[in-house]
Amino acid sequence: MFESHRLFESQFNRNTWQGVVACLAVAFGLGLVIAVAHRIKNPSNKTFLTALVLLPIATQFFVMIFDKTVNPYAGIAVAGAFALIRFRSEPGSARDIVGIFIAVVAGFSVGLGFVYIALIFAFTASAISVGLKFIPIPQKWDKAGEEKRLKITVPEDMDYETEFSGILSEYTKSHTIVRVKTSALGSLYTVDYKILFKPKASQKEMIDRIRMLNGNLPIVCSIYQLPEEREL
């Protein structure tokens, strides 16, 4: 079944349908492991978790096809580019990017026949990922702050692009408008921000100051959600 007992030279026989099915089963299992590890202590929606499960399978077959027809290295480059294409138009966290990268590398390994390497890599990366999530990080070391979603309702005549910039700059490291929605027949705007709080920044103080500017209209500050979960 294996050409060599040396790990980095051992390739699974993919020239039979039994070998293809075995590689498919391994890719599916590794996708489940990666998705479960990503979900632990990390808010994720069903769409993204499904993508993590399917990515190793899709990458495996993609590499197999290129390996038999064209250049396998070209297949690796193209598959990697397509795997990360969602982050060109949708904001994604670093953990999401790493999760996709782990799934793609696992699929590459299985597609090239290095099943042992795929198993070791996926389980090791998932174990490290889960372990690090349970290690508390001191506040002074947390350079990224706390990622939140801020929704501010404003009247239609307010210049929301500049009105809140001073307050948000004081309490956050970064703030980006990700969506603007009209309501009440166009008389109100709901401005959706993605923000990163500064360490020790008071969320209540910031909201109280914004309330004085938007006429005490609704303000919502919550855990930042992935774009697929947002309201339409």
Q: What is the DSSP annotation of 119-161?
A: HHHHHHHHHHHHHHHTS---GGG-TT-EEEEEEEEEETTS-HH
Query: Which pLDDT score, from 0 to 100, does residue 226 have?
Result: 45
| Rounded Cα gap, residues 219 and 214, in angstroms | 9
> How many alpha carbons fall within 13 Å on the CB side of residue 204?
0
Position 184 scores a pLDDT of: 81
27 vs 118: CA distance, rounded Å: 9
- Cα(189)–Cα(187) distance, integer angstroms: 7
The pLDDT of residue 151 is: 93
Q: What is the mean pLDDT of residues 199-212?
A: 89
Note the pLDDT tens digit of each residue in 36-66: 998 887 766 788 888 889 889 988 888 887 7
Tokens standing for residue 185: 């027949």
What pLDDT, on the 0 to 100 scale, is given for residue 127? 92
- Sheet (strand 172-183) strand order: 172-183, 188-197, 146-155, 219-223
At residue 223, the 3 state secondary structure works out as strand
Please compute the mean of the pLDDT values over residues 121-149 and round it to a whole number: 75
Look at residue 6 and tell me whether its pLDDT is greater than 50: no
The rounded distance, in Å, linking the Cα atoms of 54 and 149 is 29
- Residue 231: the pLDDT is 44
- Residue ranges of the chain assigned to CATH 3.30.70.60: 141-229
Q: Identify the architecture of domain 141-229 in CATH.
A: 2-Layer Sandwich (3.30)
pLDDT of 7 over the 50 cut: no
Strands 219-223 and 146-155: antiparallel
Average per-residue pLDDT for the chain? 78
Dump pLDDT digits (tens) for 78-101: 656 665 555 544 555 677 788 888
**Six token digits for residue 147:** 């990622």
Higher pLDDT, 146 or 153: 153
